[in-house]
Structure 1
């Protein structure tokens, strides 16, 4: 296939490796079995292989004794890296590969079961591309019955994807992308006239005396005022984690909610009100279901109904339009911006980055209803 198509080809398969009984880790049948990606060059040569390190309920497979950091060089786009599925949430090999091996593009075979509102396949694929400023070529198993859908070619600025829970047929995705991907606008290199809401955001962060803050209200000039009216704080389960939340009511507001060391803030305006309930949620702790890993999350989500207990449910449709700043005092630099709108559509922030030790995401002018806007932080060292 690689020769016939004159292309580099990455394929996922199972491999076995004989081991000796003197090896204390050697299975009883005398062989290791690995979830493996193989890489062929355009002349048909097997140039490398990657053995998956972070297994996800894969009883048939073993974890290799050493982490593979697999890269391959191409004449058309430089260096590519390879890892598989659940690896995307962990430091090794994913982050180390990008940090230490000058990788600009990632080939990513996966069998990912969508988990809304924070970890749908295309959602985390896109967030990874944005967070690290790389291109990611993601090929997911297409099996709607198992909830496995969502493949894409993602750059930091644009995505080409396929997600269809109704159609049993997959689709070939072809796209032209830059050899040197350019990241989204961050706080360091933002240009152009600053919008009024961003000025208010900066004043709030700086503790400007003309922008007073207390438990009841915030105002940054005589003409602008948001009343918090002692919003109720509640708890709801989101993807098996116990989030602390506040409702997002009214046409405009300034909210914050805290858990452990993390505080999340939202400054928002809504051109028109919808009938839906939205909430701002925070979680700072060890996720322990279907994998163990430490996360810090600030999330603006559409709830499943009008009851607080529906916040965190899996929703794909929404009509709520927001202009907003979402930020938090994260204690990690590894933050993935998750941004999903109605009909499983991906969107891109207008601006994101660090400001006064807080990481923020800004968006004006959504084209469709907001399902999820979240900052998903990973504290790898606390896993």
Structure 2
């Protein structure tokens, strides 16, 4: 099927904490919706059957609970209500944004997924009801090609979004399409947690995901395109991911991902939005790609002349590292219960410093979640203290096999190359209770090769 995602540079409110009336809010959102409309037309012309827009794209960000209120549409979160906002605009008040989105889908005969702020009045008899008598949700909506509202999803894992409420229960939301079967929906920070993202994919055996996001890149392990690809690979799904374009906040990185090939956009320099349209196969089975080959060996590595271990901060976590010196070698490094192993051969020898790092612990900055990570990274300079820094360019080509005795079955394989581009492992999978990834000769210089394990039970 043909999919489209749009990385949108939002027209933002100059003062998001100021209180404005509904008319002013609609005027600002209308300018973003005008851009959406142009992109829907362009995508439909290229044969797209579904288009996804980013999180916060219509209203922007940095609101307070009260200042976002005029930007919120009313929505009924219920399976029972069948509603086509374009054809039945009179059913509910304060649904102007939903009406415009619905009409775009209808006019262009395309499935459309977008994100907006919504409000829902509640009674004080409801124990979760906020004191101002209303819920405010960060919401994804999906319309079919007739403009019918077919699914709504309320973001569960909010990322310091004080304007919004967490829904009382996680939403598991999917919608059906004639061209690719069922799609599941979640948003941005959700991708790092078990509820609802992982649970949704597993419970419904989903093969297609739509994913609006406003993701601030953090290298070396959590760049948007890097982790979106890792999720697609780990769960054998296609992901249609639309990110905001706002380089000054580190926001860029969208794509149409399959487990083995992707169409991505990452640009920290330029301005303006970017439409990606690509044809991808529907994943129908649980077939494992050619990834499950056995590694040459999984053995403890002898302590003959191991290089020194050192500590450095990476991703705000205290990693234990060993330097990756010389043209080839075998290394191991351990922390807590996790040991990481690397065999490597530099195909192109450069004077760049690489290091093998391990972290097995609770990550506590910008969110709390338990990580088990084995990571081969390029350091920012030639001294140990530069390992773990954000690096975007590299020239060394390294053949490697990386493995670890992970305690969780949820492993996200990361393979990032120079210029924030993606590469794909030759082999990966479980062998003797170790998870491994191997690659001969990346297509360009290696930035990061990592096993990013999420041990959800220990969050």
TM-score (norm 2): 0.76
Of the candidates 302, 315, 318, which is equivalent to residue 378 of structure 2? 302
Aligned residue pairs: how many? Answer: 354
CA distance in 1, matches of 2:290, 2:436: 12
CA distance in 1, matches of 2:439, 2:167: 42
2:418 corresponds in structure 1 to 342
1:261 corresponds in structure 2 to 337
Contact 2:226 2:415 in 1 (8 A): yes
Query: SS of the counterpart of 2:198?
Result: helix
Query: Is 1:333 matched up with 2:409?
Result: yes
Contact 2:347 2:441 in 1 (8 A): no
Of the candidates 303, 325, 328, which is equivalent to residue 215 of structure 1? 303
Contact 1:80 1:104 in 2 (8 A): yes
Query: Is 1:72 matched up with 2:175?
Result: yes
TM-score (norm 1): 0.90
CA distance in 1, matches of 2:321, 2:111: 47
Residue deviations 1:169-190, cap 9 Å, x none?
A: 1210011111116654222xx4
Residue 365 of structure 1 and its aligned partner are, at CA, apart by: 1.7
Residue 272 of structure 1 and its aligned partner are, at CA, apart by: 2.8
Residue deviations 1:119-144, cap 9 Å, x none?
A: 00000000000000000000001111
Contact 1:9 1:40 in 2 (8 A): yes
Query: Is 1:364 matched up with 2:452?
Result: no
Of the candidates 162, 184, 198, which is equivalent to residue 95 of structure 1? 198
Contact 1:276 1:303 in 2 (8 A): yes
1:186 corresponds in structure 2 to 291
CA distance in 1, matches of 2:267, 2:348: 29
What is the aligned-residue RMSD (CA, Å)? 1.2
Query: SS of the counterpart of 1:172?
Result: strand
Contact 1:130 1:184 in 2 (8 A): no
1:220 corresponds in structure 2 to none
Query: SS of the counterpart of 2:348?
Result: coil
* Larger strand fraction of residues: 1
Residue 25 of structure 1 and its aligned partner are, at CA, apart by: 2.5
CA distance in 2, matches of 1:141, 1:115: 15
CA distance in 1, matches of 2:288, 2:433: 20
Residue 320 of structure 1 and its aligned partner are, at CA, apart by: 1.1
Residue deviations 1:44-103, cap 9 Å, x none?
A: 101110000000010000000011000001011101000000000001111111111121
Of the candidates 10, 15, 20, which is equivalent to residue 123 of structure 2? 20
Query: SS of the counterpart of 1:68?
Result: coil
Contact 1:277 1:302 in 2 (8 A): yes
CA distance in 2, matches of 1:15, 1:65: 15
Residue deviations 1:259-305, cap 9 Å, x none?
A: 00000000000123211110000000000000000010000000000
1:37 corresponds in structure 2 to 140
Residue deviations 1:137-181, cap 9 Å, x none?
A: 000011111110000000000010111001111210011111116
**Uncovered stretches (5+) of structure 1, i.e. residues with no partner:** 208-212, 217-228
2:62 corresponds in structure 1 to none
Query: Is 1:241 matched up with 2:346?
Result: no
